[in-house]
Amino acid sequence: MRWGLSLDRTCSRCRRTSKLIYDYRKDDSRFPLGFRCCNRKCSIYNKYVSIRKGTFLGNSHLWVQEILILCCIFVRGKYDYESIKYECHLRDDSTFLSSRTISDWLTFIREVCIHAVLKISDGKIGGPGLTVEVDEAKFGRRKFNVGRVIDGKWVVGGICRETKDVFLVPCHDNKRNGLALVEITTQNVNPGSLIITDCWKGYEGLTQEGWDHLTVNHSYNFVDPFTEAHTQNIENLWWQVKRSLPDTYTRKDGSLLYHFGEFLWRKKIITEPSQAFLVLLKHAAGLYPPPK
């Protein structure tokens, strides 16, 4: 109850306190809790309202137990649709969760993650005296799952060395050019930051826009021998992000944003993995607070 289900609720018509009841005759017999208005003069007197209504658990034909198991699997981090179908199978018949249902619920959960991250984010990263490494990467498919990526989405990312704050932004219209790189950097990095990138010509506009900018030529060195500039932190970030993508990743633009939200939620918020499930429920309750 403390994670998003209310023990008290006011009738939507007469505004009097409704009574919490058990009712095993309802369809949701695995979670038969609801409210009834006890005011005989009310137009909806004795009408049953599920305790799930208006919460993260509402508007779904899934059992509460199935939703909670799905959340547990999500928090665990590594999963595929087949394993989710079997682990969430609690019914006596041969009914399994459909792939569409699983996909929708994973999206709902990632929306919770995104809102939780936005709530604690300060906006831009870096600042005076801080160093931000910026780089771009492509997320997509390889032909026959081998070779270089031939189809996908360009993403610009940055990480502050001192604070470890990060940003991940897909390029608008999938255009990877100097104008897009400067625009994304300006929108996500605080003025006064030292920006370090590779030597790709698209980053030349940063110096022209007045940014304190160092580069490293990866064709010769991983660390510039004169300035000691390197982009090892952002390269490691790309490795972490791509490694975090589950087998259910579909590589569609919208899906990619949701996966970034999940990655940042795990990186920024989850400090104790053993508490991740309760943290997720708390964030879900914050995004979908129960009606009063």
Any bridge partners for residue 156, and if so which? 136, 169
* Residue 222 and residue 159 share a domain: yes
- pLDDT of 266 above 60: yes
* Residue 186 and residue 143 share a domain: yes
* Domain enclosing residue 94, as ranges: 64-119
Regarding predicted confidence, which is higher, 84 or 50?
84
Reported confidence tier of residue 250, pLDDT bands at 50, 70, 90: low
- Here the tokens at position 247 are 């087998």
Domain of 240: which CATH number? 3.30.420.10
Q: What is the pLDDT of residues 150-188, one digit of tens each?
A: 567 899 999 999 999 999 998 888 888 889 999 999 999
Please state the domain count of the chain: 3
* Residue 184 and residue 204 share a domain: yes
Q: What is the pLDDT of residues 180-221, one digit of tens each?
A: 999 999 999 999 999 999 988 889 899 989 999 998 887 777
* Residue 217 and residue 153 share a domain: yes
Within a domain: residue 256?
A: yes
Within a domain: residue 124?
A: no
* Residue 111 and residue 33 share a domain: no
Q: How far, in Å, CA of 265 to CA of 158, rounded?
A: 16
Within a domain: residue 215?
A: yes
The contacts of residue 9 (CB under 8 Å, 6+ apart) are: 17, 18, 20, 35, 49, 51, 290, 291, 292
Within a domain: residue 40?
A: yes
Range with the poorest average pLDDT among 2-11, 182-191, 271-280: 2-11
